[in-house]
Every structure is written in structure tokens, then in C-alpha cells.
Amino acid sequence: MDKYEILEKYYGYHSFREGQEALIDHIMEGKDALGIMPTGAGKSVCYQVPALLMPGITLVISPLISLMKDQVQALNQAGVHAAYINSSLSENQITKALTFAGQGRYKIIYVAPERLETERFFRFAQAAQISMVAVDEAHCISQWGQDFRPSYLHIVNFVNRLPIRPVLSAFTATATGEVKDDIVSVLGLKSPMTLVTGFDRQNLFFAVEQVKDRSRYIRHYVEEHAKESGIIYCATRKNVEKVYELLTEEGVAVTRYHAGLGSEERQRNQDDFIYDRKSVIVATNAFGMGIDKSNVRYVLHYNMPQSMENYYQEAGRAGRDGEPSDCILLYSAQDMMINRFLLENKEINPDFTAQELRTIRERDENRLQTMQFYCNTKECLRAYILRYFGEGKKEACGRCGNCQKSYLEKDMTKEAQTVIACLEEQRERYGLGVVVGTLLGGKRTKLREYHVEQYSSYGALRKCREQEIKDLIGQMIQEGYLRQTADKYGLLQTTGAAQELMEGNCKLIVKTEPKSSLAVAEKEIVLKGSAGRYADILNRRGLAFFDTLRELRREIAREQGLPPYLVFSDKTLVDMCVRLPMSREEMMEVSGVGAYKYKQYGERFLACIMDYTGGMREKFYFEE
């Protein structure tokens, strides 16, 4: 079999996505590879397809038990022999799994990094033919990453002790330059191919809403999306409880997740959500790592997260199946304070020196500020995100929340010139806080220490509100007149383009929201994402049929003890509604129906379609 046949047979997909093929080809040449792709891009296919093509076993290093379980279930569903070995198994089960593995029964074995350090596992690996070691969530290897896992550092020892060096591949969704370098050097990748695919998630709708009453918004939104699966993130446990109660009172099938709950309850609640027994989960950011649920239709943020990295990762849990989904952030100015408090009190590795600690704090503060810029920008949100992740300047997308709003425009070229003059006379030595303080004529101790009152720009923008100046600077960065150094200091500097602005060759137009538009915007967004989500492709009957197929999926999932999305994804069900397959052949054309899945479920779905349409496709399509 070649890679195309494998994709077709086991996954039921007809073509590779961006980047997948290049990585697979490279790996098949026996070379190391690093894939940096956003959540939902399809990293698993990049190592699973080679795993099935290579002669021996592939070990997949994965940080979380839930992640391994999900992946192995998905593989087994597709007809691939795979297993995991981790601490959720008893000693007996581990012995059995290792015996089977030794007999070559599994092509793919998922393990936690700690497992590699055990002698018993090493003995197995030494005797087996290991073709590849694939490191999932590879950013865990870096001290700079958000989820550093010390045992990731030992992967390379394990690999070096093997009699034959297997191919090494690594995958992650978040990798700044530092993290990328760490992955390559710590894992000892040999002249790897590093492939970064676009971070754009076309199917996600992004919006930021500054609504007066967040509870009302959430209630309204969830009601409008009653049958859909969604996550609501809050910054604190207290907020989780509050939103959870609010929705419970409304009679929503809702559950919750935060570190204050016992581990059993957390597991139960998570399962309720994954198995579609509860449609909504309200959670802190403790929830989500390792959740591969593909039919999450919306992610709402009740509070602003602490960084763009966090936000994109959390929001990115929506729409993994590629179907339209919403990512809406409800922003309130207090979120800054809550987050500062959380950051100041977060647990930090006690081995860090005072200097390292300071660096981390400053970095945290800068990330928080960038997040706030996102919440306040009036420009295209998608373009903002993509630029943040290093994809250069982008056109406005035309379909995010900001692109769809109408704004009042105000010429702030003069004020922008004042900002530039201020930076110049301060010789670009300060970060946002000091610059804004200077322009406002502030009197804080830090400002006095720097003697900012000596500058002619001191107090020059006294008549503006602090937030207005911050937004202005944020926009100047976005439009390329200023930049902020990427180091811990986050110094504001002018670029070549600033001169153009100084000379009046171009204008800086700031957009503001007309007061009355808030309520309108709220309503529009709520409606936008609702059942109308599929309105372009499915008519009223199609939508009703989608519900029927969902019901059948739930029934099968219950019988099999599987999360429904592992039976078929939402995308597959929508495709069935569109095509209305009436034979085995037609069913195999549906995206996500592979040979093995057809054998298990194909006929039941065919029967359901025949039953519903009476075998008359045309009638079903055209009759309203």
C-alpha cells in the first residue's frame, strides 16, 4: 500500500492537507522531521501514515494519558492495531501489553516519556524493531514552553541507547523561535526538515465582545446553540462556579472542570462532555490539554486569557473537524487585574534564580499586554493573530467580528506624531508603561525615577484616556510604525515607516465603536453562529436529518462505549446529509468513511438514510 491508499483505507480521506505529504515523504526517506502546525491541522496523520508504511514499530511519546487513550481508540476504530502503555494500566496489563508488543501485534504504541526510563520498557525496545520515535506535543521539552515536562529531556538518552537509531519526528502547535531551537537541539534531531504550516484556521470565526452583561450574553448564546457542543473558559474557579450555576438554572446540560474538584469528579465531568452527555463544559484553563473532541462548535472566553499562545490554543479546540465554529472572547477591562494577580501568584519552579524569575515575570507581563491589544484592536482579528504567530502582514479577512462591525473613524495622526516624538526624545529606552505614563503626565514613583518630566512630550496627551493611548500605540505597532522588542523589556521603537507619519505622508485613523452598536453587535453574533451554521449547505430538511444522524451516532457510541465523534465526525455527518449516499460505493465517497469504519457502521447509516428519504434523493433535495 502507498500513502494515498493508507489515507483512504484507514481514515476515509481523499487527499492530504497542507504540509502532511511533505513531512510524510521526508520521514519515509529515513530523515528526522519537525512539524509545527496549529491545532486541528492534522499532525497525527503525519506520523501515523509513515508508521503504517514502515516495517517496524513506531513509539509515540505523548504527555497525557487522556490524549493517548483518545488516539488509540481512534486508531482502533480505523482498524489499526495500536496500544498505549501508561500508569493507568495495572502491572498485569502492562506485562500483557509488552508481551503483545514484543510479538509485533501493534504498529503504533503510545507511551508517556517517564516510561522510557524504566528498564523493563527499555528491554522490550532493545529487542523490538523500532522504526520511528514520534514526539507529540514536543514543546514540553523546552523550559521556555508553557508545559515543560522534565522527563522529555530523557527521550534522547533512550534513543541513543537503542541498537539502531530510529527516525525521530517531533510535532507541536506552539513553537516560538526559542522553543523550536530547544526541540531540535535537545532531541538531537539530525538535519531535520522543519515544516511550519499556516496558522490560519479558516473555519473559525473570531470575535471580541465588550458587553456590559457577560452572563446575559452567555445565557443567550448557549440557548441559541442548544444542540451544539461548547467550552466556556473562565479565569478563576469562582467564575467557573458562577457561570456553571447560571446555566444550570437555565436548564442547560452543563458540566464544569477546575483544579478545585476531586480528580474523580473531574474525570467524570470531562467524560460527560466528551461523550456528549453534557453539551457545555465551563472550565478553567486546567481543562483541555489532551482533549481531541472534534465536534466542539464554540469556545467562549468569559475572561481574557493570559497570552495569545494560551488564547489560540484554547480557542483552537473549536472546530477540529474543519466545520464552521465560533471563538468569542468576552473582554472586560478588569480582566487585566485578575490576570496580573494570577500571574503574580502562579507556582514557579523554585530552582529559578532571582534573575530568571524577573525575566519570567517581565515576559508574562508583555504577553498579557499583547493579549490586551488583541482585545482592543479594531482591525481584523485573524490578521492580528497570524501576524503574532509570525506570518507577516495580512489582509483583513472580511469575516471576523471586527471585519463585520461598523466603526466611527477618527484621525489621530497628530497624537501618533506625539508618540513618535516622545520615543525619539527618550531614545527608545522604555516600554509601554513608561511611555504612556510620560504622555499622560503621570506621577508614579517609577516615572519620577526616570525623570520623565524633563521631556517636552511629558503630559502632551493629557487630554486622552490611558486606554486610548494604549490602543493608539497598539495600532501603530500593527500598522508597522512601531515595534516592540521581543525580549523581556518590550521596548517601544520606531521603524522606518514612522518617518512617513511624521512628515504627514500618511494618516493614522483610529476606529471607535459607536455606543449604540453594542447591543446590535451582540445580537448579530449570537445569530450568526447558530443553526444557520450549516444554512449555506443544508436546507431545513437537511438540518433535521443531520439531527437524526447525530442521534444514530449517539446510539452507536453508547453501545460501543466510545465518544460519538470517534464513530464519525460532524464533518462526516454533514457530508452524508449533502450526498445522501445510497450504496456502499457512494458511502465510501463520504469524507471520513474508511473501509474499516464502513464495515462497522456503514450499513446502519445507509439504512437510516434509506429510511429517511425513502430512497428518493431528488425528492429529498428539492421538496421543502
Binding site for ligand ADP (CB under 6 A): 13, 16-17, 20, 37, 39-45, 292, 294, 320-321, 569
Residues of span 367-386 touching Zn ion by CB under 5 A:
380, 382
Minimum distance, C-beta of residue 477 to Zn ion, in the bound complex (Å): 18
The whole-angstrom separation of Cα 299 and Cα 282 is 10
Cα distance between residue 164 and residue 131, in whole Å = 9
Cβ atoms of 446 and 484 closer than 8 Å: no
Full DSSP string of 408-453: EEEE-HHHHHHHHHHHHHTTT--BHHHHHHHHHT---HHHHHTTGG
- Residue identified by cell 494577580 is 341
Q: What, of ligand ADP, Zn ion, none, does residue 397 touch, CB below 5 to 8 Å by kind?
A: Zn ion
Q: Looking at beta carbons only, is 44 or 369 nearer to ligand ADP?
A: 44
Please state the closest distance from residue 307 (CB atom) to ligand ADP, in A: 19
Stretch 61-100: interaction string toward Zn ion, x if CB under 5 A: ----------------------------------------
Say how far apart CA 497 and CA 207 lie, in whole Å. Answer: 29
| Nearest Cα to Cα of residue 187 among 43, 45, 369, 61 | 61
Cβ neighbours of residue 291 under 8 Å, at least 6 residues apart?
66, 70, 270, 274, 317
The nearest distance, CB 171 to Zn ion, in angstroms, is: 28
> Minimum distance from CB of 371 to Zn ion (Å)?
18
- Cα-flanking dihedrals φ and ψ of residue 167, to 5°? -70, 140
Binding mask 401-420 for Zn ion (x = CB under 5 A): --x-----------------
Q: How far is residue 247's CA from residue 224's CA, in Å, rounded to a whole number? A: 13
The cell numbers describing 93, all together, are 496489563
Per-residue binding letters, 175-194, with Zn ion (x by CB under 5 A)? --------------------
Q: How far is the CB of 593 from Zn ion (least distance, A)?
A: 34
> Quick one: what does residue 40 bind among Zn ion, ligand ADP, none, with the CB cut-off 5 to 8 Å set by partner type?
ligand ADP
Place of cell 538531537: 188
The answer to whether the CB of 173 falls within 8 A of the CB of 316 is yes
Least separation in angstroms between CB 196 and ligand ADP: 13
Closest CA to 268 of 4, 13, 66, 559: 66
C-alpha distances (whole Å) from 355 to each of 58, 76, 361 are: 41, 49, 10
- Specify the residue, 89 or 403, whose C-beta has the smaller distance to Zn ion: 403
Which of Zn ion, ligand ADP, none interacts with 400 (beta carbon under 5 to 8 A by kind)?
Answer: Zn ion
Q: Which residues contact 91 (CB under 8 A, 6 or more apart)?
A: none
Residue 327 Cβ vs Zn ion, minimum distance, rounded to whole Å:
12
Say whether residue 397 binds Zn ion (CB under 5 A): yes
Which residue in the shown chain puts its C-beta closest to ligand ADP? Answer: 42
State the binding partner of 403 from ligand ADP, Zn ion, none, CB within 5 to 8 A by kind: Zn ion
Q: In this complex, which beta carbon is closest to ligand ADP, that of residue 13 or of residue 612?
A: 13
Q: At 600, phi and psi to the nearest 5? A: -75, -45
To which H or E segment does residue 584 belong? Answer: helix 584-589
Residue 310 or 569 with smaller CB distance to ligand ADP = 569
Is residue 395 classed exposed, middle or buried when 0-12, 13-18 and 19+ CB atoms within 10 A define those classes? exposed
Residue 455 interacts with which of ligand ADP, Zn ion, none, CB < 5 to 8 Å by class: none
Which of Zn ion, ligand ADP, none interacts with 43 (beta carbon under 5 to 8 A by kind)?
ligand ADP
Site map (CB under 5 A) of Zn ion, residues 326-365, x = contact:
----------------------------------------
Q: Is 201 in the site for Zn ion (CB under 5 A)?
A: no
Instruction: Verify binding: residue 222, Zn ion, rule CB under 5 A.
Output: no
144 Rama sector, left if φ>0, alpha if ψ -120 to 50, beta otherwise: alpha
Binding residues for Zn ion, total number by CB under 5 A? 6
Q: How far is the CB of 383 from Zn ion (least distance, A)?
A: 6
Nearer to ligand ADP, 279 or 313 (CB): 313
Query: Nearest distance from residue 522's CB to Zn ion, in Å?
Result: 18
What nine digits make up the cell of 280? 457545555
Binding partner of residue 207 among ligand ADP, Zn ion, none, CB under 5 to 8 Å per kind?
none
Q: Which residues bind Zn ion (CB under 5 A)?
A: 380, 382, 396-397, 400, 403
